[in-house]
Amino acid sequence: MQTAQRLVRRGVVVCVICAGALVVHGCYKRRCLDENGGSNDGWIAQGHCSACGVYPAIAPSFIKPHKHYKADVIERVVKHAEAGKNVEGLGGCAADISTMRRWIKEWGERAEWAVGCLISKLPAMRKEYICSLDLQNMTLQQQLARLLSEYPASERGGIIGNVNIILTTHNCGFL
């Protein structure tokens, strides 16, 4: 909760609806599953925007919204699939094959959109452009990693978590 309060005070985290200032007023525990299916607890801060009245959750980067497994587990499965490997051969992940296939399908649907959002937001933020040719012949994870290098992002956390921080900060949704 202290981290969320610090980020809100600095204006790093704002309302996802109207970009208004938030006030952190509480937190709640959220269970996440690791690659072995073990349960880990994460804390999600609850914010409030007095401008539009919403109560957005301020989640740490290792929690992917609407998913039970940690973001790094999903990221590893997607990386495995982008390398052309079959998910059935992925050892060390307790998730069902159908769950991993769903992650890969969702990734394909959302990651291209996220690349486009990051490319479009960069000029307004840093007065710089990235040519689409610079991203040619890269997997979606590689493209997102390349784009992340242009943004002031946390050194901790994975690609999914850091992309989500940037997208939600700019009112673009999440990956």
Instruction: Indicate the range of 45-49, 74-78, 104-108, 164-168 predicted with least confidence.
Output: 164-168
> Both 108 and 93 in a single domain?
yes
> Both 78 and 14 in a single domain?
no
> Both 46 and 116 in a single domain?
no
- Is pTM beyond 0.85? Reply is no
**Domain end marker among 42, 60, 78:** 60
**Domain end marker among 45, 60, 75:** 60
Higher pLDDT among residues 115 and 169, named by residue: 115
Q: Choose among 108, 75, 111: nearest CA to 93.
A: 75
Chain centroid, CA 67 distance in Å:
11
pLDDT above 70 as % of the chain = 96
Predicted local distance difference test score (pLDDT) of residue 154: 60
pLDDT of residue 51 exceeding 90, the answer is yes
Q: Which domain does 27 fall in, by range? A: 1-60
Domain count, the chain: 2
CA distance 90 to 80: 8
> Both 73 and 102 in a single domain?
yes
Sheet of 57-58, strand order: 22-33, 39-49, 57-58
> Both 55 and 99 in a single domain?
no
pLDDT digits (tens, 9 = 90+) for 119-174: 888 887 767 778 777 898 999 999 999 998 888 766 667 898 888 888 877 777 78
> Both 7 and 50 in a single domain?
yes
> Both 74 and 151 in a single domain?
yes
Predicted local distance difference test score (pLDDT) of residue 17: 82
171: left (phi over 0), alpha (psi -120 to 50) or beta: left
How many other CB atoms are found less than 10 A from the CB of residue 11?
A: 11
* Structure-token pair, residue 93: 């992940």
> Both 39 and 84 in a single domain?
no
CA distance 101 to 80: 11
Residue 150 phi, psi (nearest 5): -90, -10
> Both 117 and 163 in a single domain?
yes
The mean pLDDT of the chain is 86
